[in-house]
Amino acid sequence: MNRVRGTRRAGRLAAPLLAAALAAGALTVTAAPAAHAAASDLVAKLPISSFSALTVDSEHQRVYVADSNLGYSSNTGLIAVYDFSGVRVATITTTRYVSGLALNTDNSVLYVGGQGSILRYDTTTYQALGSTSASSDTCGRSLAFAGGKEYHTSPTVTSYTSECEATLTYLDYSLPDNTLQRSGWQDYGKLQLEAGPGDRLMMGQPSNTKAANPFVAVFDASGETLVRTAGRRFADADGKGALNFKDMAFSADGSEVAVADASAGTRLLNTDDLSDAATGYPALPAGAAASAVAFSGDGKYLARGASASGATPDLLLSPADPQDTTPPLEFAFDGSLDGDRVAPRGLEWSADGSRLFAVTTNTAGSQYWLHVVQPPAVQYDTRFTGGLTHSPAAAAAGEALAVRGRLELDGPAPTEPLKVTATRTDAAGTHEIGTATVKADGTFTVLDEPDLVGEATYTVSFLGDLTHRPATDVVRTVSVGKAASSIALTAPAEASKAAGVHITGTFSAQGAALPERAVLAVERTDRLGTGTLSSVTVAADGTFTLDDLPRTRRDTTYTVSWPGDDLHAGSTAAATVRVTG
């Protein structure tokens, strides 16, 4: 199992102390009351035997992991989809293998590198949105979305996968209209792509037989033409110090670049010219070779993955500022429950820095795990208090409903307003309602319009942030009834048999709009009895008219009614007219 090692020196992340024990298969955490070092590590066994790419959709709280499955053109493709708690919620399968993943700017579309195309999927339904033809690929692609375009690598077709390491690879892109273009940039090997702030795109070259001195390059992707703004090779005049590339990442503000170099550790470079930053990061522990790197979206933290054996740490979480000497929190993965090391390019953060997702693999590289790790910060407990309430008390289908509650926080007040998420479960399944902002006093209001009659169960969740732990979900079941309808009649007090009776009226239905105009039933009751008259159809503005030639004198009552439908209650109105001769 994994062993988490607490910091050994005084510092901001050093207290409270985190102790790890290899006992009963669980982590043991020693902490002051209500505050905990964020060392929780949820682990899911991935249904893959090879690894291509990892990407995180923070908008919908989803994690995508792709199985490369290269080797045979008939191999099927698989993308496993997880929520932020490590539960698999969907599986996307394709008829041919896939490689490389990228999300567009608003996380509405997932781009997937196919064997001979770039596939697109809706990130809420996981349904296919079409594809763009691309160069045939036998070696695997890398994808990135930058400057409003989807970029991908297109390796030259090879006869054997062993030739992929040094094959000529082109950099292509898809325009917004999904047509394919070639950027003109190319080089040898399995080139890797990474998007960054300010419409930046980065390319890294792994070492191969045709690239003894591999490079890292940064491009401006904001215009129609991809412009290289910086490039660097690392070997000296004697050929020493060449890059052993494994991964790369932009800092949150895009001003710096971290490169995972299996030979040199973590290189920190200035984005403008890729020169060495004035202050770099400490060396990885002895025996650990860099395999992955990722900055948290809030700019506070750096995650460094490594390939190491035994008790040597495979994952280090530390402040992103290299001048902050706070010791890192260290994870050592070792065993069949956790994997043995962090896979190359196997680290991604949620946008707010509240979760780190790490893909680990065994020594043979044939099994994979997904870890959901809390960031290295002191966290405080949270709880929902007082349950949930709702208004109006009588909920109706198609009408606005407010669900209210209160979130109580320990520790300091958050610097940014917190948000809770809500779902509604009814006869049609579970539906995501969205988020609600928590006010300074802890109260929040979730707004919804239930669209079915019956019981609707609302579940409100708080998943935690950098300084607050998740709260236990709070639930409220609401009985949703039919929306009201009404009929109003305007009739004369007296009419004659000869001239007839003319009645006007209005009909209205609250809640959801009616699929068709309402048809109203009409009955006439006089001293000769009750009979049914022709029905009337309500106009688009809700009005209707009723004309009748009475059959007898004295009081005649006209009753107009609507039976209702699945979402609306019926209604009735009556008017009595004195009929003269």
Reported as a single tens digit per residue, the pLDDT across 219-249 is 999 999 999 999 999 999 999 999 999 999 9
Q: Which long-range contacts (CB under 8 A, 24 or more apart) does 552-557 make?
A: 552/497, 552/526, 552/527, 552/528, 552/579, 553/497, 553/579, 553/580, 553/581, 554/526, 554/527, 554/578, 554/579, 555/526, 555/527, 555/579, 556/501, 556/524, 556/525, 556/526, 557/524, 557/525, 557/526
Domain 3-379 has CATH 2.102.10.10: no
The amino acid sitting at 135 is S
Please give the CATH topology (third level) of the domain spanning 381-481.
Immunoglobulin-like (2.60.40)
Map out the domains of the chain as residue ranges: 3-379, 381-481, 485-580
Q: Are 535 and 544 in contact (CB under 8 A)?
A: no
Can you tell me which residue has the tokens 């000497």? 325
The amino acid sitting at 125 is T
* Enclosing H/E stretch for 229: strand 227-233
Confidence of residue 40 (pLDDT cuts 50, 70, 90): low
Domains 3-379 and 485-580 belong to one CATH topology:
no
Which parts of 203-245 fold into alpha helices (H)? Answer: none
CA dist list (Å): 212 to 9, 245, 290, 430: 41, 12, 19, 54
Structure tokens at 465: 């942030």
pTM higher than 0.75 for the full model?
no
The total of other beta-carbon atoms located within 10 Å of residue 476's CB is 16
Domain 485-580 has CATH 3.60.20.10: no
Confidence check: pLDDT of 466 > 60: no
Q: How far apart are the first and last CA of the chain?
A: 98
pLDDT in tens, 520-529: 999 999 999 9
Mean pLDDT of 250-276: 97
Confidence of residue 379 (pLDDT cuts 50, 70, 90): low
Query: Could you check whether the bond before residue 392 is cis, i.e. omega within 30 degrees of 0?
Result: yes
- What CA dihedral angle connects 386, 391, 396 and 401, to 10 degrees? -90
pLDDT in tens, 113-138: 999 999 999 999 999 999 998 988 88
> How deeply is 86 buried, as exposed, middle or buried, from its count of CB atoms within 10 A (0-12, 13-18, 19+)?
middle
Determine the Cα–Cα distance for residues 66 and 272; give it in Å rounded to an integer. Answer: 32
